[in-house]
Chain A
Amino acid sequence: MNATEHPIDPEELTSYYDGELPPERASAVQSHVAICPACQALSRDLGRVSRNLAAWTIEPAPQTIAVNVRAKEPPVTPSFRPRWLTARVYTVSGLAAAGVVLLFAIVPLNMTRARQQPATASATNRSATMTSASRLEGRPAEIPRAAPPPSAAPARVGGLPQAARTGQPSQGQTQSPRVVRTASLQILAKDFDAARASLDRIVAEMGGFVGNLEIRGTVPNARLLTATLRFPSSRLDAALKSLRAVGTVVEESQGSDDVTEQALDLEARIANGRQTEKRLTDLLQKRTGDLSDVLAAEREIARVREEIERLDAQRQNLESRVSYASVSLRITEAEKANMNLGPVPLATRLWNAFVDGFETMFVSVVEISIVALRVAPALIFWTALIGVPLYWLTRRVRKPA
């Protein structure tokens, strides 16, 4: 295949396929491809390669990326702030600040009222979270059970404290509202190690424990700590206050779930089960029936006991959730690395120039070789055809002289 019948090289055809050729050259390539079977075959192959590559699809991006990015977003630096602090942003920021101030003013007030007047606490018009907090704060008799003194409950990982595991409800507790409190905090920490140490200290001081804890990433990359912490419900607010001081709070939410009805239902079912068990046991002790009746009674007792154990486990789990609030914590380290691309380094530019120069040299050697190879056979032929007789004739003419 020579240049006359194949005026484009395959790399150029690839560029044409990718739409990377200038228009005038693209139309020339297009005209050639229309008449060249080899280029048509190569075009088909390029398309086939692309289609096959497209077969490697991936799953959609996890939704957590959005949240995490927000969590890792650094606080706005003073040098950056003046560029975007427009009047509108000032207004929104002002309203938000006022809201926060109002919130901080109302919460302690409500809590104080709740402590002083537990009977009227639920009558106030507040959010579910605040109502739940007030209810818990309004039950001083229960707090000692749910919140052991700090010295009695050091921080620990992977297990409920004894109070939460075995907490047997008293009659008074059965009648009281049961509220499961949860909170979520996302914090951006400049000093990750200090934040980690503070976390242990807060958990120990508040008589809580660590449900699970995971740290991902290595220095110098931004590290990420995710943990589920459990604090005595009565000390949740104090714990959250301490946790907020660990770094910059990027996101926070609190929630509550009133499980009073669920707890009462469980206790009623357990009580019924125990009565049934007692009746069956009495029947069995009398042994008035035949053997099949006795066996049936024993099977029923086993089933009822199993049911009671299952319900009791549920009740204990519910008790632990009521006694110990759950805090989902996420601490991200402020990004340290500067990923700005910036100008290309001098060494890279020199290397690129070297590569370009080397390529140019290589291309020139190849081109000269191609020209030489194209011309050489014809040159030898014509030299032999014309040069040799001419030389012979010249010698013959010169000889007589």
Chain B
Amino acid sequence: MSLVTTDEQLMADVKAGSERACETLFARYREPVWGFFRRRVPDSRRAEELAQDTFVAILQAAPRYEPRGALRSYIFGIAYNILVADRRRDRRADSVPLADDPPAGPAADPSLALWVRDALARLDADDREILMLREYEDLSYQEIADVRAMPLNTVRSRLFRARMALRAALEARHAGVGHERD
């Protein structure tokens, strides 16, 4: 299988039972799916489990997969459903929406990363989710609308509102830093 296999072709191969296609699909989406859960689930071990559950669900649903839209939105749709089910079960959908422990990874500015996480946590839950799907999962407006099952215009307006809220928070932060320096 060449590296330029499209997502749709890859999923067709998975559907046909190709183990190699499964591995390629896994290699392609492991980091994105892990990132999806890691930024949204407080416990990294739980995030790991949910990422596993997502891939299991994808493999289970592969025989019934119909290429109606982008595979990317299909995968994140499954991931989102699993996330919602997990939050509903734990009854902590809004109380602990994001990772508890300090952001990990090669952040150039750890304090900024921490600030971003806190600023996102202060956003409206729907606005935040849409913004994160756009910025971190790199989904298009239509893909976000598919994943969230909401109108395209709502996605657009909520995304704008979330960005403006973050812009205001960013300006306040810079003003605060400026005052501290003064």
Contacts and interface: CB of A to CB of B under 8 A. Distances in A.
A351 B59 CA distance: 31
B31 A217 contact: no
B105 A59 contact: yes
A14 B159 contact: yes
A14 B156 contact: yes
Interface residues of B, number: 68
Contact of A217 (B34, B35, B49, B51): B49
B126 to A, nearest CB: 12
B85 interface: yes
Interface in B51-97: 51-61, 63-64, 74, 77-78, 81-82, 85-86, 89
A356 B153 contact: yes
B19 to A, nearest CB: 9
A57 B107 contact: yes
Interface string B143-167: 0000001110110110110011011
A218 B17 contact: no
Contact of A85 (B17, B58, B106, B153): B17
A344 B150 CA distance: 10
B177 interface: no
Interface in B18-58: 18, 26, 30-31, 33-35, 38-39, 45, 48-49, 51-58
Contacts of B109: 55
3 closest cross-chain pairs (CB), A and B: A84-B17, A339-B57, A61-B34
Interface of B: 15-18, 26, 30-31, 33-35, 38-39, 45, 48-49, 51-61, 63-64, 74, 77-78, 81-82, 85-86, 89, 103-109, 112-113, 116-117, 120, 131, 134-136, 140-141, 149-151, 153-154, 156-157, 159-160, 163-164, 166-167, 170
B97 to A, nearest CB: 14
A341 B141 contact: no
A65 B48 contact: yes
B17 A348 contact: no
A74 B60 CA distance: 7
A50 interface: yes
A359 B56 contact: no
A80 B34 CA distance: 28
A73 B141 contact: no
B136 A53 contact: yes
A224 interface: yes
29 contacts: A18-B134, A20-B141, A54-B135, A55-B107, A55-B112, A56-B39, A56-B103, A56-B116, A57-B103, A57-B107, A58-B34, A59-B104, A60-B31, A65-B34, A65-B55, A66-B26, A72-B52, A72-B53, A73-B56, A216-B45, A216-B49, A218-B89, A337-B85, A339-B53, A339-B61, A339-B78, A339-B81, A339-B82, A340-B78
Interface in A223-276: 224
A335 B113 contact: no
Contact of B166 (A53, A69, A359): A53
Nearest to A73: B59
Nearest to A46: B163
Given A53-B136, A65-B34, 6 more contacts: A20-B156, A49-B163, A54-B135, A55-B112, A57-B104, A222-B56
B156 A355 contact: no
A55, A68, A352: residue with the most chain B Cβ atoms closer than 10 Å? A55
A352 B149 contact: yes
Nearest to B131: A53
A74 B52 contact: no
Contacts of A337: 57, 85
B18 A341 contact: no
A159 interface: no
A379 to B, nearest CB: 32
A339 B54 CA distance: 8
A49 B77 CA distance: 25
B17 A89 contact: yes
Contacts of B77: 341
A55 B110 CA distance: 8
Interface string A311-343: 000000000000000000000000101111100
Contacts of A359: 151, 153-154
A60, A335, A341, A352: residue with the most chain B Cβ atoms closer than 10 Å? A341
Interface in A329-386: 335, 337-341, 344, 348, 352, 355-356, 359
B57 A52 contact: no
A15 interface: yes
Contacts of B150: 352, 355
A222 B18 CA distance: 25
A340 B55 CA distance: 12
A11, A14, A46, A61: residue with the most chain B Cβ atoms closer than 10 Å? A61
Given A53-B116, A61-B31, A66-B26, A48 B59 contact: no
